[in-house]
A and B are shown apart, each in its own frame.
Chain A
Amino acid sequence: MKNITKLGAVSALSLIIGAGSAFADTIKIGFIDPLSGPFASTGTNGLHQFEFAADYMVNDKGGVLDGDTFEIVSFDNKTSPKESLIQLQVAIDQGIRYIVQGNGSAVALALTEAVDKHNRRNPDSRVLFLNYAAVDPALTNEQCNFWHFRFDANADMKMDAMSDVIAKDESIKKVYVIGQDYSFGKAVADAAVSMLGEKRPDIEIVGNELHPIGKVKDFTPYSRKIVASGADAVITGNWGADMLGLGKSIIENGFTGPIYTYYGAGSGMTGAFGETGKGAIRLVSEGIVNPPPTEEASAYYQAFQAKYPDGNIDQTRISNTVGMLAEAIKAAGTADDVVAVATALKGMEYQTIWGSKVMMRAEDHQAIQNINILNHTDEGVTFPFDGSTFGVVSEQTVEMASADAPTTCEMQRP
């Protein structure tokens, strides 16, 4: 009986999977990120930004090469490394040669390793992995490989910029570092301690602690400690519900200083912070949408909002990813030979529509770009987030941040 079930199921399956095979006139980009589950909102918003960027920046302008267009094919990985690897295989079988992913460093680490193994074992169906948001420094250091490109600044680079800004602020004497208890939270904490110690030895780290990830219901006890420690500023790498819970709790329990965050905006968070977070939440990010940096950027954002009124462009690097991939394919003259495309991509300098430059560093395939400190407010906001009146406005910019930061990457080129 089970055999019959299985047979029927599998034949139906191969119909579905086999339905998409490679077409000459579209270049497929596999988007592997959560579209269901707790992080679905971030994933769905990212997908919209990719689809929009592909249409606006490539397809509407006549495509690349001989009018080849970009097509974003989405795969739901449920933020699970296992599912990501299955979907990667499905994507490869559909003839997809470019994979984009961003949510979750665990997934990115699993993917980069799987892509590396796949490319070594199957030289005739190699793929490139374009990482647009996973920031674990390991991906461009000890775990780097030729097939992986990161378009976001990594956690250390963001901390470098953040600590530059904190170091300039003479009123900050005491800093509290708090984060989620896992690799990224620890990386942020270590980087904060070492970089602040270097740039402002007089700043005292009055607290440095980790809390269980995704398990804390009430952050009040942590906020009490932060308030009691007399800290002037808080640094946190928290994201998702942990970020919102921590931020709200700290402010409601009487903390008045700035809270420097990695992920304190977008995905409903800006709307939920609202008035409470005004003047407190700072965000370190590569992109500026307020004030609009260029005419082109405004037009781009307006077109996006016309299509997705509830959506945010909280990841400007997505348009950079699409734009740079298009440039690289043009330079390589082919979309099928990913080695040629990767070679064109490394070392590329790209003028973004956001008015700044991005350089893809050749040694470790890490994008070097401006990093900004943004402020959560409702004043001077041209493009608010989450359908609210609040948004993030640029306060300070660190130009081409960490361009000379060392890397331990020993890239093996094919």
Chain B
Amino acid sequence: MSNFDPNTDMPRGARPEEQITTDPSKPSERMQFRLMLFNLAPWIIASLVLLLLPAVFTNNSTITLMNQMMITIVFALAYNMLLGQGGMLSFGHAVYAGVGGFACMHIMNTSDFFSSIPLVILPFFGGLFGMGLAMIVGSFSTRSAGTVFAMISLGVGELIAASSVIIVAFFGGEGGVSGNRTDALPFFGNEFLQQINVYYLIAVWTIISAALMFLWSRTPVGRMANAVRDNPERAEFLGYSARWVRFYSFVASGFFAGVSGGLFAINYEILTEENLNTASSGVILLVTFLGGVGFFFGPIIGAVVFTLVQTVLSLQTELWAFYAGSLFLATVMFFPGGLAGLIMMHVPAFKLGKSKLLIIPYLKTLVPAAIGILAVCALVEMTFHYRHAATGDHEMTLFWTTFDSHTVLPWLVAAAIAAVGLGIARATAPSLKEAWNEANTRGAAS
């Protein structure tokens, strides 16, 4: 089932293929250069796309949504520094983002100081405060990993979340703390009045933070975090203190969580108890795991998908949390590598040049499966409507079709589509598996 090796962050079979591309006849420098170019390419493309997106989607709500996505991306990446790279499961990570954000709000409200700095550097202060808190908590929580770390993070998270309604002076009680970002020193004449200005600010910070976090994972400490995650004893034998490696990862993660809190403060101009509570900590765990903890870009996918589900799907159906929960559970059960793992499973086939073999079997299996699943969703929605809609309100609209939910026909149609769709998917699954094996076997192309 699991097609990637959790110990190496690599899909199984990917390694040997990489060696094939190494051509010993070429000078090693050129190889290096090519590798660097290859590594830079996704970053450059990502930056360009981020800069060009607002030209495509001009309405404010999409920009607000993209802002939210980018804030979640930074936060999820920071969280994955712990979970994916360091193997530390935290149940209270929202407090570092939250405290960073609250600190930024307070800076925003100290008018003298705030009017003397440009808004763009504000997230840096959020990062510092997040880092400061992480240093205090990390000093005792990183002594061991595993359950002890997880439970301390839960306890500390609950404590700080609980004090947010008690310590009104800093957390502002239930109403939270709000401010006005436009009071800052204009940045090249820009006062960040409009969402689009804020978009670019957040985009730049997202790219910088993501790049820094990626570079961190390539430093000796970042590499050692992986080693400590997999086998702390052997890491100790190499002369690294497992505890300090964990501590550094934790502090760095706290910094970037704080940055995301600062970005939140700029975008929404308000922070509340919601930014600290355990529900937010749980959400970021879901986001990261959904995207895939084994890959650097996993949390990015998770953040994008989850924000869409939470904001856009919830406009369409009241049952969005039900679907989100099901999606999440299915991911954990069938694709423990997350969505990123799912994508990276296909790398070997690409490298072998056999990915074309998969297209037809995929179409044969996944299209009926998707239709079947949508039909099941339709049945769920109809049940919900049948039970909870107003009396006499028999009409409902699903997938651009309006019908009467109290008659038998729609139920039969939906059930039939579900049965047929899933049935076809089931019947064609073995041939997909065959094609999959074929595509991942070297030699003898069809």
Contact = CB atoms under 8 A, between A and B. Distances in A.
Are A and B in direct contact (Cβ within 8 Å)?
yes
Given A83-B311, A89-B64, A121-B194, A10 B57 contact: yes
A215 B60 CA distance: 37
B45 A182 contact: no
Interface size class for chain A? 35 or more
A5 B339 CA distance: 11
A3 B162 CA distance: 39
B59 A18 contact: yes
A16 B304 contact: no
Contacts of A121: 193-194
Contact of B61 (A17, A110, A117): A17
Contacts of A37: 321
Interface stretch (A283-291, A302-310, A358-366): A302-310
A1 B350 CA distance: 14
Given A6-B304, A109-B175, A121-B194, A309 B391 contact: yes
Contact of A1 (B270, B297, B392): B297
Interface string A1-43: 1110111011101101110000000000000000111001000
Contacts of A1: 42, 297, 343
Contact of A13 (B62, B173, B193, B314): B62
B65 A86 contact: yes
A212 interface: yes
B68 interface: yes
Given A36-B314, A121-B193, A213-B165, A10 B62 contact: yes
B178 interface: yes
A2 B297 contact: yes
Interface string B192-207: 0111000000000000
A198 B250 CA distance: 55
B53 interface: yes
A13 B64 CA distance: 12
B195 to A, nearest CB: 8
Contacts of B166: 181
Interface size class for chain B? 35 or more
Interface in A357-389: none
B390 interface: yes
A85 interface: yes
A131 B46 CA distance: 42
A110 to B, nearest CB: 5
Contact of B62 (A14, A36, A85, A110): A14
A183 B393 contact: no
B315 interface: yes
- Determine chain A's interface SS by DSSP, over half rule: helix
A262 B42 CA distance: 57
A208 B391 CA distance: 45
Interface string B37-52: 0000010011001000
A183 B174 contact: yes
A199 interface: no
B392 A306 contact: yes
Nearest to B298: A2
Contact of B174 (A35, A76, A182): A182
A90 B315 contact: yes
A94 B61 CA distance: 9
A117 B269 contact: yes
Interface string A199-235: 0000000000000110100000000000000000000
B56 to A, nearest CB: 8
Contacts of B392: 306-307
A106 B304 contact: no
B320 A36 contact: yes
Interface in A66-111: 75-76, 78, 80-83, 85-87, 89-90, 92-94, 105-106, 109-110
Given A110-B176, A182-B174, A307 B61 contact: no
B65 A93 contact: no
Contact of B173 (A7, A11, A94, A182): A182
Contacts of A2: 42, 46, 297, 300-301, 304
A48 interface: yes
Nearest to A213: B165
A110 B57 contact: no
Contacts of B66: 10
A110 B174 CA distance: 11
B268 A13 contact: no
Interface of A: 1-3, 5-7, 9-11, 13-14, 16-18, 35-37, 40, 44, 48, 75-76, 78, 80-83, 85-87, 89-90, 92-94, 105-106, 109-110, 113-114, 117, 121, 136, 138, 181-184, 212-213, 215, 306-309
15 contacts: A1-B297, A1-B343, A3-B46, A6-B53, A13-B312, A14-B62, A17-B312, A76-B315, A82-B272, A86-B64, A90-B311, A93-B60, A105-B174, A138-B175, A183-B173
Given A17-B62, A78-B314, A106-B174, 17 more contacts: A1-B42, A1-B297, A9-B304, A10-B56, A13-B62, A13-B308, A16-B312, A16-B315, A35-B314, A36-B318, A44-B318, A76-B314, A82-B268, A82-B275, A90-B311, A94-B61, A215-B162
